[in-house]
Structure 1
């Protein structure tokens, strides 16, 4: 058996129907994408989940979902909006519980504006207020996730500072809150906003890191290209991943799902993953 890291995939249930053999043959880590849709969460989401479970008969890999995020910020300053955010994230945990999923991706609240302004007040008031808003939104969700054996992983979106969402995860003092890295988002922050390169994000997360979205980009936009189409330094990224012991799920999250198998082949040819 190869010692190379085993790659997983982020796909909707409809695509699982075509990649079922690829996933099941080695019980690859899997992230189901359907449940980002607020309308689905408010409707008959169980029919989609039942189809997912049927397609995964016999599966013993690590299953997760991408949680709801469209139009949501867990740091929203409006109490009514935080209540809605809380409800949506609780719906995501309900899906996890029904599916037997053990991980849910959520989005970082930090923006490019945050990077320049959170400390732009006496006693770091803006930083503290944002953190308090996150806890008001998510404390109940974290408790529910703990009860269900689910870990939420905070994905970098606009984050320029690789440490700030690590500190946010730590502030919950819970195994239900950890860290994710999206390689394309980090590369965008590096190329457009002067952030550190992707491998630095990995090292700064360290063993908080339990999930990685693998996608390629050129550093200007959120491309979700197949691996090899952009300019990310993949050897450096996988060297950094080899230094940590948390065994994060390495999830290919590509816009064009036809690029999944070629991406696996590309990384395998480089001797980085399979």
Structure 2
């Protein structure tokens, strides 16, 4: 990325109505977060999709969604659970097709417990990958068919490499890597993981999506940028070495502070 990156944001449709002018002025990337729950995906979400299309008339930025994640892992060893998760992923991709989204965020299966135990039982790392493939194989094919990419976001991941290897194992352009800066910083501060910039370096050009949130290394704060203690210059220096042009998405609790978060990055000469 040779020039200062244009920073996007994650929000719901209601919040999009508030920030629409800010989003459109630089055609910032957008991640919609209305389609994560079972009640929405099992209901008539087409009304939300129609609302999204109207609000985004004239939008030229890259559009994605946060996919479903509540209450499950993509690496369940129970085939009945895998069937439900596969259904949810399909529903999320159906939404992508309906609104023209080209990216869907899914959560990593790797936990703090698994970091210490993957090598405790023979063949366990391979079984995790197998279970993820059994869960996601139809979704990956669907994503390929509609021109979308499923990006795997770190949650509790301590090992910054294992999720990248999981994405690579699909050998598909429809599976790539996401990083959440606050999740990485939590893992660094609380569970001995490396700092955030190491996650960026490990992902390399497999990285296609970043959740930007600030934190204190203790919890998943989703604070506005500048309110925590993430070392943003090191993160953006690592990003500057990439050619994959990942979507840089501010994902914070207080959506009124989205513009201020980008202004903070601009004050550091890191983004616009």
If the TM-score is normalised by the length of the shorter chain, which range does it land in? over 0.9
The aligned counterpart of 1:9 is: 9
The aligned counterpart of 1:43 is: 43
1:256 and 2:260 equivalent? no
Find the residue that maps to 2:35 and give its secondary structure. helix
Count, aligned residues: 271
Q: Offset at 1:49?
A: 1.1
Cα distance in 2, alignment partners of residues 78 and 121 from structure 1: 18
The aligned counterpart of 2:52 is: 52
Q: 1:186 aligns with which of 177, 184, 187?
A: 184
- Per-residue CA deviation, residues 60-85 of structure 1 (Å, 9 max, x unaligned), is 11000000000021101110000000
The aligned counterpart of 1:202 is: 200
Q: Offset at 1:26?
A: 1.4
Superposed, which structure 2 residues align to 1:162-241 within 5 Å? 162-241=160-239
Q: Offset at 1:264?
A: 0.9
Cα distance in 2, alignment partners of residues 27 and 98 from structure 1: 20
Q: Offset at 1:258?
A: 1.1
Superposed, which structure 2 residues align to 1:121-200 within 5 Å? 121-122=121-122, 125-200=123-198
Cα distance in 2, alignment partners of residues 260 and 20 from structure 1: 12
The aligned counterpart of 2:102 is: 102
- Per-residue CA deviation, residues 156-176 of structure 1 (Å, 9 max, x unaligned), is 000000001100000000000
Find the residue that maps to 1:69 and give its secondary structure. coil
Q: Offset at 1:3?
A: 2.9
Cα distance in 1, alignment partners of residues 101 and 150 from structure 2: 11
Q: Offset at 1:4?
A: 1.1
Q: Offset at 1:121?
A: 1.9
Superposed, which structure 2 residues align to 1:105-124 within 5 Å? 105-122=105-122
Cα distance in 1, alignment partners of residues 9 and 72 from structure 2: 24
Cα distance in 1, alignment partners of residues 258 and 58 from structure 2: 22
Q: Following TM superposition, where does structure 1 have runs of at least 4 consecutive aligned residues deviating by more than 4 angstroms?
A: none
Cα distance in 2, alignment partners of residues 218 and 46 from structure 1: 39
Q: Offset at 1:259?
A: 1.2
Cα distance in 1, alignment partners of residues 164 and 204 from structure 2: 9
Which segments of 5 or more consecutive residues in structure 2 lack a partner in the other structure?
none
Which segments of 5 or more consecutive residues in structure 1 lack a partner in the other structure?
none
Cα distance in 1, alignment partners of residues 59 and 226 from structure 2: 29
